[in-house]
Amino acid sequence: MTCAIDIGNSTIGFAFLKEGRLERVCKIENELASELVRVKLANFLESAADRYSLKRVVICSVVPEVLKKLSARIVKAWGLRPVVVGRDVKIPIKNRYQSPRQVGKDRLLCAFAARELYGAPAVVIDLGTAITFDGVSPAGDYLGGAIIPGLRLSAEALFEKTALLPRVHIAEPRKVIGATTEESIQSGLFHGYGSLCDGMVVRLGEEMKCRPKVVMTGGNALVMRRFMKHAVMAVDEDLIFKGMSLLVA
């Protein structure tokens, strides 16, 4: 049994894989400075050790400090030294970024997984704390892409940087024309970001000079898919875990 761990800016995702198949996925808050989260993590690691016969741990992280702390806890709880993506195992995709080291390992790993599972050319849309768009060329190379704030970041920015706009619950709007301030913000978030995704897919395809397959992932992928008009080949919320599984297979 392999445990694949995705350390993101907002959450830490754990997936348990057996012979490449995902058996369980769960997430906790990425707040290891919080006593409540530390206790929750300790309980989780203990229960996982009891439940699974773990042979290997692989981690993809975009938060170096959390990677360091979590790795130490895993060694102590499970007696396993994690394999870290980008440090201990390389992602086998040609990286055409101007400064390759600047690319987040999560972006590169999802591009690799999309290519292997769904083919190239492709555009990968990852809807997390930030929303990223990444292009995979017809030859299967990683090209780069675009980054924008995610839904929650945008909603929080409106609340924090304006005098009168309220903090809103992230919920799907019933219609495009909001009849209240809350409905208007929700419409802007979902219909606005849906249209943005459609437009970015078109523009990326034009620049790539092809019609790429569209693969969506991340916590908001299933919801946002409903607000897009462009054809989406796959919505795969576990794409990053599948990428890690491919790396260590």
Q: What is the pLDDT of residue 225?
A: 94
Say yes or no: do domains 2-84 and 100-248 share a fold: yes
Q: What is the pLDDT of residue 169?
A: 87
Quote the tokens at residue 171: 């919920």
Contacts within 8 Å (CB) and 24+ apart, 176-183: none
- Confidence at 237, pLDDT banded by 50, 70, 90: very high
List, for residues 83-125, the tens digit of each pLDDT value: 999 999 999 999 999 999 999 999 999 999 999 999 999 999 9
**Rg of the chain (C-alpha set):** 19
| Start-end of H helices in 34-122 | 35-51, 64-78, 105-118
Q: Which amino acid is at 157?
A: A
Contact 121, 113 (CB under 8 A): no
Spatial separation of the C-alpha atoms in residues 20 and 249, rounded to whole Å: 7
List, for residues 2-15, the tens digit of each pLDDT value: 999 999 988 999 99
- 106 catalytic per annotation: yes
Topology classification of domain 100-248: Nucleotidyltransferase; domain 5 (3.30.420)
| Active-site residue, selected from the candidate residues 106, 126, 134, 236 | 106
Q: Give strand pairing partners of 124.
A: 134, 215
Q: What is the pLDDT of residue 60?
A: 97
Topology classification of domain 2-84: Nucleotidyltransferase; domain 5 (3.30.420)
Q: Which residues contact 155 (CB under 8 A, 6 or more apart)?
A: 167, 168, 170, 185, 189
Q: Where are the domains of the chain?
A: 2-84, 100-248
List, for residues 14-64, the tens digit of each pLDDT value: 999 987 788 888 899 888 888 888 899 999 999 998 888 899 999 999 999
Across all residues in the chain, what is the average pLDDT? 94
Contact 144, 93 (CB under 8 A): no
Q: Is the pTM of this model over 0.85?
A: yes
User: Considering Cα of 18, then 249, then 63, then 98, what sign does the dihedral take?
Assistant: negative
Q: Distances from the Cα of 62 to the Cαs of 56, 192, 243, in angstroms?
A: 20, 27, 15
